Amino acid sequence: MKFLHTADWQIGRTYSQFEADSADLSRARIDGVSRIAQLATELQADAVLVAGDVFDSQTPRDKTILRLFEAMGGYDGPWILLPGNHDAALPESVWQLARRLKLVPANAVLCLVPEVLEVQGRNGGRFCVLPAPLTQRHTHTDLTEWFDRAETPEGLLRIGLAHGSVAGILAEHVDSPNPIAAGRAERARLDYLALGDWHGTKQVDARTWYSGTHEPDRFRTNDSGNALVVEIDGPGALPRVTSVRTAAYRWMQLDLHVLDAADVERAAEALAAIDATTVADVALSGTCDMGTQARLQDALESAERRAAAFSARQTALRLAPTEEDLQALHADGFVGAALTELKGQLQGPQADVAREALLQLARIQRDIQGKGLVSANASKAAAA
Amino acid sequence: MKIKTIRVEGFKRFRDAFTLDQLSEGVNLIAAPNGSGKSTLAEAVRVGFQERHRTASLGEMLAPWTQPGASPSVQIEFLHDGKQYRVAKTFGGKKSCTLDIEGRAVTGEDAEQALAEMFSFSYAGKGVSKPEHQGVPGLLWVRQGAAGEIGTPVASAHEYIRRALGDDMGELAATAGDRVIERVEGELGGLLTRGGKPTGEYARQLEQLAAKQDELTAIETNIVEYETAVDRFGSLQARHAEGARDKPWERQREEAKSLEEQLQALAAIERQRAERDLERQVAEGRVVQCTEQLGAFDLDDKSVQERAEELQAAQARDGQTLEQVRSAEAALKSAQEADAAAREKAVLARHAAARQSHLDQQKAANARRTQLERQISGIAEHQAELARHQAEPARLAAFAGAGKKLQTAEATLVTARARLEAVSTRLEYDLRNGGVRLGGAMLVGAGTRTLSEPAEIEIDGVGTIRVLPGAQDLSELQAECNRAQRVLSNALQAMGVTSVEDARRGEDDLRAAQAKVKQLEVLVAGLAPEGVDALRAEARKAEGDEKRHAEALSALPPGVDPGISVAAAEAEEQVTQKSLRDAQAAHERAREEAGGAQAQLRIAKRELEAAQARISAPGREDRRRLVQRELLAARAECEEKLEGVRQLDEQLKAARPDQLRLDIQRLAKSASALEAAHSTVGAELTHLAGQLQAKGALGLQEDAASLRDKIARLERQVAERSGRAAALTHLLAVLTEKRAEVARGIRAPLQLHMNHYLGIQFPGMRIDLDDALRPARITRSGQHGAETGSFEELSGGEREQLGIIARLAYADLLKNAGKPTLIMLDDSLVNSDLVRLAGMKRVLYDAAQRHQILIFTCHQENWLDMGVAPRTLQ
């Protein structure tokens, strides 16, 4: 049989760091589900396994729920949906809300209780689902424990579905709640254990995988944005798992340290690579003169215009104006003195505010000079 | 710089050409009286340099009064920086302008432009030059009375001074610096108020941010409430399910039921106890009954003795009351006797009083009657007299009014007679012997007669004389007289008298008779106002009274006077009557008491007899013994039943049925409470489910998330603006500080020159210059130590002196910068006293070592010590 394993859709998630682009990124998570549906149809999958955190919160807007189920319309086989920690099967939850609103399509199987489900695949074959839904926001017991004792009809695949962290596998999740014991698949005689919660694609053992989220939502480089195609020839057979790209966006975190011309070139190249599918977070650091600062500023602004979503920090970038920089501003008299003073302050405790003040002064000075230049040109032209 | 010659022609005072030549470096003193053209010359220098030759109005303005069409011209030769210059300007009709520099001529506007740059001033766009255009010359060329004004000329010259100093000061002068500051201030003003508070879009964003944060807090609170409710819902659901499965209240009910059975077993024992107790009560009743009966026997025995004692007492009381009756009777009798005696005495006293009264009244009636009779007889006499007098007026009635009537008749007669006599013949006679006869009557002696009719006088012996009266109506008068005579005679006749006198007497008599009658009538009326009959009736009544009292007297029995007044006798009678009533009452009471005692005595006798009858009834003692036996039996039964009850009570006490009942109650209540709690949980579950469904549908968390987006955006915008505000604030601070430093840099050399002159004229004084290089704060040692004030607060003379000193300091500064400096003073320092003037002359002489100074004055005597001879304008 063939399954498509995905998880951590977190529909309704927003991205406050990306200001105006946040809505686009939110929308992309739903569009990703459409692609999964399309993929499942193309691959003639028997079912789609969604291993938890379908929704980002228990109380999304009605419209968001509606859009998700609409997006799932592209695949008419069973969708096995498991509640995760974000959308746990609490006594009152998003699942009940969805049911009350009559938005849940007939082919969606909601695993709200830990009991064996016998499901008929899209291609007619039957298999058993052993779900471990979270019924509280956080649990500290292993909800998959009952899999070991669960009886299923002979000859049907045993597919486990759980959401949490496998003990000892994910360093970051050592103390995290919702633990899952290592070796569960083997002990519970599972043919495949589909896991969610970890946002990157990751194999735990021969029969246990995290699919990761279908659309990246953070900059951590952990291979997210995939779904897994799981093929199992029959009970007891080892699954063949292949990763398929589902992401619309590439999340890129650029840490650009600038010290010399070569660094500047590299930084400019990196920024130039940002395109409409990129969600970028740029941190500039190092030291540069005013000319370079202006160039980098231009490159940042251009990248921001192109990027799907963009954020940048350059507070760590130190400004070191050169004599030429200052000369170019043609600041004489006390303005020139002020410029020199601010330049001196760049080394001191007021470096940040001095840097900003300097940039402001440069801008104003260029502005005034530019106007002066224009008017001077204009008068010359008139004289001619 | 040095002006060599000044030449004017057709210029105000100078109609003809006038040249002031051989001007020297240093001080030049031009002395002339008022109105001789000093100021014109100073003006010519100014016009020559600073006015445009094309300015139309100047031709007329500068032309001499007597030569309005002239073309005023000025020509000035001067040396500067080792070069020869000559400027020549003509205004009015023959406008022209030439500037020769070392023999190389520049003309027109180019020449004027070159002058402006050289001397640091500008031209007016149109018309004559105004103070703001005059730049450095406006400062150094002091017009009459203007030395004390320094602010305006410095302001006008400031920019030129700074520009002139530019080469010297290098980077310290900013060309567009103030514009930068303006821009920074403008941009900062868009972000912060002067007080540093956010304003405009920045403030709006801050407000928005705060509002959104509040909104988010509210939603987050709501979310927490929602989640808490969800948790509660879960735990309630679990509890409810547990309750529905276990039904703990049923266990309580079963336990209560078994206790109920125990309680029913106890109820049988309780019934038995109640029976026992009832039997005990019956036995106790019998004990009481027997005891009462025995008591009755004892009571009868005791009552015979008591009755006998009571009888004895009754007898004693009877004897006592009888004695009391007797003594009361005796007292009554003596009271009766005393009363009868008093009554008789009172009767006698009353009879005696009546007799005396009748006697007195009889006497009074008799006296009244006698007096009335006398009165009546008196009145009868007066009435008889009245009757007599009443006839007299009737007799004299004819004389009523006689006097008046007769008087009229007499008057008529006298009048007639007088008229007759007047026309009659008067006959006077005096007869001595014998007499004559007239009309038959004898006339003798002397007399007169009137004759109204013919008469004859007979003289005896002589014959007869016939006298015929001559008047014609004599006879008529005679007839009238006769008629009057007849009337009178008739009247007298009617009255029955012959003379008028008699008639008058008759009238008087009538009046007297009438008065008498009236007098008598009044008398009679006074004596009997109600008539004599009333008097007679009264007399008869008095007579009756007299008789009645006489009869009453005779009717009274004869008696003796007891010698006591009626009042005293009656008082005595009242006393005896009261004693009598008291005695009667006492008697009555005594008799009643005696009656009561007798009745009591009879009852006592009867009761004694009855009691004696009861105790002597046959079979009484047998009955008594029977009752005694009965009592003993009842007591024994009572004891026995009581013991039975006590035993049952002990059984009950051991089983504690009250406790059992409480237990049953407790268990029942617990069961109900458990069940109620279960259904309450059910109700709350329903309620919570509704609430959660409602809240869950609000999209709270997604709202919160998008609100967080907005807040993050606002925060970034605010941070960006606050960063910019901080940067601009910092920038502004640095710029302002640097500008101040520059200003200080320019001020320093100026201050140095200023101090040089101050040392000469005002030792110890210090002048601080402001940013615009004007003298601002002045500090000097005064009478009370150091004093500080502004330039404007100085006296006019001091301002003038300091004004010139400041100008000289500027001139020094400009000279150092290579600028041409010429100083002109037109009648300056006129307000300075001689000591100060002397100081100022030293100052000017000092300055003259570096600058050419033209001093125009009309007080040449004040300036004789300037080291030069005064020049005149001739």
| CA–CA distance, B109 with B195 (Å, rounded to integer) | 51
Residues in chain B closer than 8 A to A90 (CB atoms): 230-231, 233-234
Q: Which residues pair with A132 in a beta bridge?
A: A162
What does the pLDDT read at residue A34? 93
Residues A79 and A71: beta-carbon distance below 8 Å: no
Hey, are the CB atoms on B223 and A59 less than 8 Å from each other? yes
Cβ of B723 and A356 within 8 Å? yes
> Which pLDDT score is estimated for B486?
85
From chain A, the residues in CB contact with B739 under 8 A are 334
pLDDT in tens, B508-563: 888 888 888 888 888 888 877 787 888 888 888 888 888 888 888 888 777 677 77
Q: What is the largest CA-CA distance in chain A?
A: 101
Is residue B776 within a helix (H) or strand (E), and if so which, with residue range?
strand B775-782
User: Terminal CA-to-CA distance of chain B, rounded, Å?
Assistant: 26
Chain B hits for A92, Cβ within 8 Å: 229-230, 233, 688-689, 692-693, 696
**CA-based nearest residue in chain B for residue A59:** B699
User: Cα–Cα distance between A317 and B103 in angstroms, integer?
Assistant: 65
Element spanning B455, H or E: strand B455-459
Q: Compare all CA atoms of chain B with the CA of A11 and give the residue at the minimum distance.
A: B702
For residue A131, name the pLDDT band (cuts at 50, 70, 90): very high
Chain-wide mean pLDDT for chain B? Answer: 85
CA distances from A72 to A6, A67, B54, B79, B702 (A): 13, 9, 91, 100, 20
* Residue B221, amino acid: T
- Strands laid side by side in the A208-210 sheet: A117-120, A126-132, A157-163, A192-196, A208-210, A202-205
More confident residue, B824 or A22: B824
Residue with tokens 């999958």: A45
Contact indicator for B7, B17 with CB cutoff of 8 Å: yes
pLDDT of B608 > 80? The answer is yes
Average pLDDT of span A110-114: 92
C-alpha dihedral, B320 to B321 to B325 to B330, nearest 10°: 20
Q: Give B147→chain A minimum CA distance, Å.
A: 33
Q: Is it the case that residue A379 has pLDDT exceeding 50?
A: no
CB within 8 Å: B696 and A90: no
Which chain B residue has the Cα nearest residue A87? B701
Residue B432: per-residue pLDDT: 79
Q: Which of A57, A100, A334 shows the shortest C-beta gap to B693? A: A100
Q: Is the pLDDT of residue B176 over 70?
A: no
Instruction: Report CA-CA distances (Å) from A314 to A362, B77, B236, B453, B816.
Output: 18, 68, 53, 196, 51
Q: How large is the average pLDDT for residues B382-399?
A: 82
Give the whole-angstrom CA distance, residue A65 versus residue A96.
Answer: 12
Sheet holding B463-467, edge to edge: B441-451, B425-438, B455-459, B463-467
What whole-number distance in Å separates Cα of residue B668 and Cα of residue B253? 6
Residue count of chain B, please give it: 874
Q: Does residue A380 carry a pLDDT above 50?
A: no
In this prediction, residue B698 carries a pLDDT of 74
Q: What is the pLDDT of residues B92-123, one digit of tens each?
A: 888 999 999 998 999 988 999 999 988 889 88
pLDDT of A375 higher than 60: no
B contacts of A134 (beta carbons < 8 Å): none
Residue A285: φ, ψ to 5° = -145, 175
Instruction: At B337, list the tokens.
Output: 């006797």
The beta-carbon neighbor of A57 closest among B702, B709, B712 is B702
Write out the two tokens for B730: 């910092």
Residue A269 burial (10 A CB sphere; 0-12, 13-18, 19+): exposed
Tens-place pLDDT, residues A244-288: 999 888 888 888 888 888 888 888 888 888 888 888 888 888 888
Q: How confident is the model over B288-303, as pLDDT tens digits?
A: 998 998 888 888 888 8
Predicted local confidence at residue B842, as pLDDT: 92
Q: What is the pLDDT of residue A232?
A: 93
Q: Which of A166-170, B79-83, B195-199 has the highest mean pLDDT?
A: B79-83
Confidence (pLDDT) at B165: 67
pLDDT attached to residue A371: 59
Give the lowest-confidence range in A6-20, A246-260, B642-656, B819-833.
Answer: A6-20
What percent of chain B stands above pLDDT 90?
12
Q: How confident is the model at residue A373 (pLDDT cuts 50, 70, 90)?
A: very low
Structure tokens at A335: 């303005």
For residues B540 and B874, which has the higher predicted lDDT (pLDDT)?
A: B540
B305-312 — which CB contacts under 8 Å span 24+ positions?
B307/B604, B307/B607, B307/B608, B307/B611, B307/B612, B308/B608, B310/B604, B310/B607, B310/B608, B311/B601, B311/B604, B311/B605, B311/B608
**Which chain A residues are closer than 8 Å to B703 by Cβ?**
61
Of B180, B734, B742, the CB nearest to A341: B734
Instruction: Pick the residue of B225, B236, B702, B708 with the most A CBs within 10 A to test the interface with A by mutation.
Output: B702
pLDDT given for residue B701 in this prediction: 81
Helices (H), strands (E): how many in chain A? 9, 17
Mean pLDDT across B648-668: 86
CA nearest B236 in A: which residue? A91
- What does the DSSP 8-state code read for residue A46? S
More confident residue, B49 or A343: B49
Q: What are phi and psi of A275, to 5 degrees?
A: -130, -170
Task: Say which residue the tokens 């395109």 belong to.
Answer: A275
| Residues above pLDDT 70, as percent of chain B | 98
- The span from the CA of B213 to the CA of B216, in Å, is 5
Specify the pLDDT at position A383.
Answer: 41
Question: Are the C-beta atoms of residues B579 and B335 closer than 8 Å to each other?
Answer: yes
Residue B205 C-alpha, separation from nearest chain A C-alpha, in angstroms: 15
Express each pLDDT in B25-55 by its tens digit.
999 999 888 888 888 899 999 999 999 988 8
Q: Do A360 and B173 touch (CB under 8 A)?
A: no
Distance CA A326, CA A338 (A): 11
What's the token pair of residue B389? 């007098």
Per-residue pLDDT band for B168 (boundaries 50, 70, 90) equals: very low
Question: Looking at the partner chain, which of B233, B731, B734 has a beta carbon nearest the beta carbon of A91?
Answer: B233
pLDDT digits (tens, 9 = 90+) for A17-57: 676 677 778 888 899 999 999 999 999 999 999 998 999 88
Strand order in the sheet with B766-769: B766-769, B775-782, B785-790
> Which residues of chain A does B234 touch, with a Cβ-Cβ cutoff of 8 Å?
90-91, 136
CB B372 within 8 A of CB B535: yes
**Greatest C-alpha distance within chain B:** 217
- Strand (E) positions, chain A? 2-6, 47-50, 79-81, 108-110, 117-120, 126-132, 157-163, 165-166, 179-180, 192-196, 202-205, 208-210, 226-231, 240-245, 250-258, 278-288, 309-319
Quote the percentage of chain A above a pLDDT of 70: 92
> Where does residue A50 rank: exposed (0-12), middle (13-18), buried (19+ CB within 10 A)?
buried
Select from A136, A353, A365 the Cβ nearest to the Cβ of B726. A353
**Residue B111 contacts residue B97 (beta carbons within 8 Å):** yes
| Cβ-contact B136, B157 below 8 angstroms | yes
Q: Grade residue B131 by pLDDT with cuts at 50, 70 and 90.
A: confident
Q: Residue A172: what pLDDT?
A: 56
Q: Cα B256 to the chain's mean position, in Å?
A: 81
C-alpha to C-alpha distance for B649 and B657, rounded to whole angstroms: 12
Residue A381: pLDDT band with limits 50, 70, 90: very low
Residue B427: beta bridge partners?
A: B449
Which tokens go with B15? 């109609």
* pLDDT, mean of residues B600-614: 87
Distance (Å) from the alpha carbon of A153 to chain B's nearest alpha carbon = 31
Neighbours of A115 (CB within 10 A): 12
B436-479 pLDDT, tens digit per residue, is 888 778 888 888 877 777 788 888 777 888 877 766 677 777 78
For residue B231, which residues of chain A lie inside 8 Å, CB to CB?
90
| pLDDT at A376 (0 to 100) | 40
Per-residue pLDDT, A170? 63
- Our CA-based measurement puts residue A354 at a distance from the nearest CA of chain B, in whole angstroms, of 7
pLDDT at residue B472, rounded to an integer: 62
Q: Given this model, what pLDDT does residue A227 score?
A: 92
Residue where the block lists tokens 């002979």: A154
- pLDDT higher than 80, residue B407: yes
Residue of chain A whose Cα is closest to the Cα of B183: A364
Q: Which of A68-82, B195-209, B440-454, B525-539 has the lowest mean pLDDT?
A: B440-454
The size of the A-B interface in CB pairs under 8 A is 164
Closest Cα in chain A, distance from residue B101 (Å): 28
- B467 forms beta bridges with B455
Q: Choose the closest CB to A338 out of B172, B229, B738.
A: B738
Express each pLDDT in A188-240 by its tens digit: 999 999 999 888 888 989 999 999 899 888 877 678 889 999 999 989 899 99
Contact yes or no for B701 and A56 at CB 8 A: yes
| Amino acid letter for position A138 | H
Taking the whole predicted model, whether its pTM rises above 0.90 is answered as no
Please tell me the predicted confidence (pLDDT) of residue B171.
38
Residue range B580-588: mean pLDDT, rounded:
90
- Residue-wise pLDDT tens digits, B828-851: 888 888 888 999 999 999 999 999
Instruction: Give the nearest chain A residue to B739 (CA atoms).
Output: A334
Q: Please tell me which of the candidates B229, B727, B734 has its beta carbon nearest to residue A356.
A: B727
Chain B hits for A15, Cβ within 8 Å:
709
Whether the pLDDT of residue A382 is over 50: the answer is no
CA distances from A21 to A16, A25, A90, A253, B786 (A): 9, 6, 32, 16, 71
Angle subtended by helix axes A333-345 and A351-383, to nearest 10: 150
pLDDT at position B175 is 56
Rounded CA separation B805/B147 (Å) = 10
Dihedral sign for Cα B402, B403, B406, B408, please.
negative
A309 in helix, strand or coil? strand
Q: CB of A310 within 8 A of CB of A303?
A: yes
